[in-house]
Structure 1
Amino acid sequence: MSLLQRVLEQFNLDVISVDEVDDSHSSTVYKCHLKKGETIFVKIPYTKLKFERELEAYEILKGKVATPELLDYWTGDEECPGAYLLSELKGQPLTIDVSPTAAYHVGVLHASMHLIHPPINKELKGIQNEFANWSKFIEKQFYSFAVDVKDVLDETLYLKAIDMFERMKGQLPLPDGPGFVHMDFRPANIIVNGDKVSGVIDFESVRFGSTEIDFTKLYRDFLSYDSRFYQSYKEGYKSIRPIIDLEIVLPFYRFIDSFNSIGWCKRRGIEKNAAFLEENILRLKDFILQ
């Protein structure tokens, strides 16, 4: 019996058809069409830690930020780290084919998430609070990926990247938080329905930390394409809470995003991620050689 079949049995689902969802990098996600006409999602994270993070995230965000409804979950066994049964959000992943109004509502949602602080009376097993040692957290992530990046880049470019990281990290302002940071806040994880935002998905990587890290992928894949998006997003965000000076922090985080993404491609398979790898090598060269 396959893992999916075991999970479907755990949830006692009467399924007509199942489609695997693309663009999920830390879990396996299936879109399930049920005999009674509903569509739901089954999600199986790759590790127990990712399962625990997402479970805690749904509890923390409930009633504060729009997400899919957690219909059920299974804590798993020695072969499966756990699984979720999730409702379907109405709409499609965010694209650049939307109006600035949608960007405004993305800003509102993002700021609402950043408003959330670590719970006082609950000890979390999955979601770490990295805020007190934020600089060390960023440094640890960077040098962890550096081991992989070193095997991909030529030595001169690699050493220039290390030097750039050390110079730029000392120029950052004081961290902003602690807030709930998604760590993968990109268009594929933001569901929109017309000009409205239905919610945000995928919480395997969330932390409590500085909000400054959480703008990078949204800027890379959405905000940078249209100045109207960028302006409307910031207006939406500021309607909920003050926004940090993105002109100061974005260059640093865009640089380390390209560097870390090269390492991610090395870990996940260079051939399979060739296009994304080349894209980030070109970005890194632009940052270093400009």
Structure 2
Amino acid sequence: MLDHIIKQFKLQVLSMDEVEDSFSSIVYKCTLLNGENVFLKIPYTKMKFQRELEAYEILKNTVAIPDLLDYWTGDEECHGVFLLSEMKGQPLTMDVSPKAAFQVGVIHASMHTVQPPALMELTGIQNEFASWSAFIEQQFYSFAQDVKDVLDEGLYTQALERYERMKQQLPSPDGPSFVHMDFRPANIIINDNEVSGIIDFESVRFGSTEVDFTKLHRDFLSFDQTLYEAYKEGYKSIRPLIDLEIVLPFYQFTDAFNSIGWCKRRGLEKNAAFLEENLVRLKNFLKKSETIF
């Protein structure tokens, strides 16, 4: 398949390495004979391919993203392939300055200013905003079928009851906005303390911004208050920021719950560390006072 794809794009490849930390696509970094680096991205499903294809069209000239050099719509054996430019830098880590965190806020808010295009027919990116609560609920109860096989009955029942109580306290959705749905450090590229851009758009939707802060807070913002404040200032320089203290507890809880279901679907042994991390997070949420809201 790889040989076929390389021929499809007429690439002269010197070396190729699979990229780690990609969970919805297979990604290869290719060094060409001329020394240039490009990326081949092969989504797991046709829908993910279509979403990402539309995202490149919608986001270009609005936020920094890789250049879509070419793409192939695939065949009966392949859902499609993207040929992407290299975005200089490395994924976001805690070893950055407040200036970089400010820029993360700016690019995140800039993405959230993007609304459903009036003149572009979308077949991949769904606009979930009008029924946002139903969308979140569908995701939760879909993963619940998997979580049920992992948690003991008492803990599982407690989680469902907690979800039903917490969802009643959410404010009105903020949008409709382009939401990444996987906005985490691995998908934010930093080069010399400057944000190069954002990658990976196979999960995007138009919906409420409130869902899009969860993973960034989990994996980055929660560890350093100075970086958190810089991020918020960057975000607010572009658009108003919702009250994260109101919405984050709900989405942190559902993220832990849904992640347990994700581990069940993708393999408990292979994802044992991530499973344990989210089991601890879920149990901690359930131990907290029911008056958290």
Q: What TM-score results when the alignment is normalised by the length of structure 1?
A: 0.99
Structure 2 CA distance for aligned equivalents of residues 121 and 200 of structure 1: 24
1:122 corresponds to which residue?
Answer: 120
For residue 148 of structure 1, the aligned residue among 143, 146, 149 is 146
For residue 132 of structure 2, the aligned residue among 131, 134, 157 is 134
**Does the 8 Å CA contact 1:102/1:194 hold for their aligned counterparts?**
no
What does the per-residue CA deviation read over 1:63-104, in whole Å, with 9 as the maximum and x for residues that have no partner?
Answer: 001000000000111111100000001110000111111110
Q: 2:265 is paired with a residue of what secondary structure?
A: helix
- 1:33 matched to 2:36? The reply is no
Q: Mind listing any 5+ residue stretches in structure 1 that lack a counterpart?
A: none
Structure 2 CA distance for aligned equivalents of residues 197 and 148 of structure 1: 37
Structure 1 CA distance for aligned equivalents of residues 192 and 260 of structure 2: 34
After TM superposition, the runs of 4+ consecutive aligned structure 1 residues lying more than 4 A away are none
Structure 2 CA distance for aligned equivalents of residues 109 and 242 of structure 1: 14
Please state how far the C-alpha of 1:6 moved relative to its aligned partner.
Answer: 1.1
2:256 corresponds to which residue?
Answer: 258
For residue 87 of structure 1, the aligned residue among 74, 78, 85 is 85
Q: 1:180 is paired with a residue of what secondary structure?
A: strand
1:214 corresponds to which residue?
Answer: 212
For residue 63 of structure 1, the aligned residue among 38, 61, 64 is 61
Please state how far the C-alpha of 1:251 moved relative to its aligned partner.
Answer: 0.3
For residue 44 of structure 2, the aligned residue among 23, 38, 46 is 46
RMSD of aligned residue pairs (Cα, Å): 0.5
Structure 2 CA distance for aligned equivalents of residues 149 and 216 of structure 1: 20
1:193 corresponds to which residue?
Answer: 191
One-letter identity of the residue aligned with 2:140: F
Structure 2 CA distance for aligned equivalents of residues 179 and 36 of structure 1: 40
Please state how far the C-alpha of 1:45 moved relative to its aligned partner.
Answer: 0.4
One-letter identity of the residue aligned with 2:135: F
2:15 corresponds to which residue?
Answer: 17
Please state how far the C-alpha of 1:122 moved relative to its aligned partner.
Answer: 1.6
Q: Mind listing any 5+ residue stretches in structure 2 that lack a counterpart?
A: 289-293
What does the per-residue CA deviation read over 1:161-204, in whole Å, with 9 as the maximum and x for residues that have no partner?
Answer: 00010000010000000000000000000000122100000000
Structure 1 CA distance for aligned equivalents of residues 27 and 152 of structure 2: 36
1:275 corresponds to which residue?
Answer: 273
Taking only the aligned residue pairs, the percentage that are identical comes to 73
Please state how far the C-alpha of 1:5 moved relative to its aligned partner.
Answer: 1.3
Q: 1:188 is paired with a residue of what secondary structure?
A: helix
One-letter identity of the residue aligned with 1:239: S
- 1:164 matched to 2:157? The reply is no
Please state how far the C-alpha of 1:259 moved relative to its aligned partner.
Answer: 0.2
